[in-house]
Amino acid sequence: MSAFSRFTPLVQSLPATIPFVGPEAIERQRGRKVAARIGANESGFGPANSVLLAMQQAAAETWKYADPENYELKQALAGHIGTSPANIAVGEGIDGLLGQIVRLVIEPGMPVVTSFGAYPTFNYHVAGHGGRLVTVPYAGDREDLDGLLATVKRENAPLVYFANPDNPMGSWWPADRIVEFANALPETTLLVLDEAYSETAPSESIPAIDSLIGKPNVIRTRTFSKAYGLAGSRVGYALSTPGTAAAFDKIRNHFGMNRIGVAAAIAALADQRYLEEVIARITASRERISRIARDNGLQPLPSATNFVAIDCGRDTTYARAIVDRLMNEHGVFIRMPGVAPLNRCIRVSTGPEAEMDLLEAALPAVLKSLAAGS
């Protein structure tokens, strides 16, 4: 018997892959410690002290499973958002929820529409469940709503993914256009509206809760990984109708949430003053990244996220050289989009001033060395 015959044909056809190479792996591969961790869109500002205290207190009870109904977290979220707990599903970050959404909707061979170059973890889940990705190019460095809609209708696709604000470009659409897009979709098409960066976005870009909460074919996904500074805790949630939200109970890991992370999320919601402080720091850091880029002859793109995409003005080889030399020579970890034409850019996450200082010192040295080499 072949060693691989125990796996399904679908699994045998898939590569063993990780959508993102983490900074830890880069440190191992290159034998150099990361000095500035500004590539993974985490929050280097960290969580509030009140959140850290809640985590410490919860640690003493980590021998207990978390509540499989996530009752307290749903109550806190409902009060914060202004909806019913029945409209909420909780999961292990948006990444975990995306896998569940694909599993709920997609059977092998079904078309799934997304933007070419958008969040690769979604694509990973589609491949893992046998879906057929159909991609739409970006238009003007943001996702093409008209192109996505036309492709959904052409393919009769049961699932479409759209992020607002967008990763990796940081772009966004106004709320009225998103609602118009959602209303124009066939009822048979489920929209995943990924709002991971909703806290850092302009208020006019985020649809009001009541504008979409009554649509069973819309799921809005949000996270505590970005502005709240809890990426390592893996807490995300989805907003939809009670019927759609309840569907997650059919397939989710009911003991998948960790008790310390849930306590952290509840405490983070209660400390909105700290969130406001962090958002101000993110805004200031975005402005500094943009200034550093312009000072070095590069073009920062407008951003509604906790990162800035920077147009390097050349091709992917040049952008990749900047990314690699920043890490190899200076320990400054950043990333870049994965496909053309987006991969003419590099992407820098916001972070504390000390890490911005390292970027500001390293970037001109890297560009100078590349110029000398060419």
- Domains recognised in the chain with CATH numbers: 9-46+273-373 (3.90.1150.10), 49-270 (3.40.640.10)
Q: How far apart are CA 189 and CA 285, in angstroms?
A: 38
**For 295-314, what is each residue's pLDDT tens digit?**
999 999 999 999 999 999 99
Express each pLDDT in 221-245 by its tens digit: 999 999 999 999 999 999 999 999 9
The residue among 154, 143, 167, 142 whose CA lies nearest residue 111 is: 154
Which candidate, 117, 162, 119, 22, places its Cα nearest to that of 343? 117
The pLDDT score that the predictor gives to residue 265 is 98
Q: What is the DSSP string of 106-125?
A: --TT-EEEEETTS-HHHHHH
pLDDT (tens, 9 = 90+) of the chain, 374 residues, equals 455 578 898 988 988 888 888 889 889 998 899 999 999 999 999 999 999 999 999 999 999 999 999 999 999 999 999 999 999 999 999 999 999 999 999 999 999 999 999 999 999 999 999 999 999 999 999 999 999 999 999 999 999 999 999 999 999 999 999 999 999 999 999 999 999 999 999 999 999 999 999 999 999 999 999 999 999 999 999 999 999 999 999 999 999 999 999 999 999 999 999 999 999 999 999 999 999 999 999 999 999 999 999 999 999 999 999 999 999 999 999 999 999 999 999 999 999 999 999 999 999 999 999 999 85
Nearest to 354 by CA among 274, 288, 304: 288
pLDDT digits (tens, 9 = 90+) for 57-110: 999 999 999 999 999 999 999 999 999 999 999 999 999 999 999 999 999 999
The DSSP element (H or E) to which 187 belongs, if any, is none
pTM listed for this prediction: 0.95
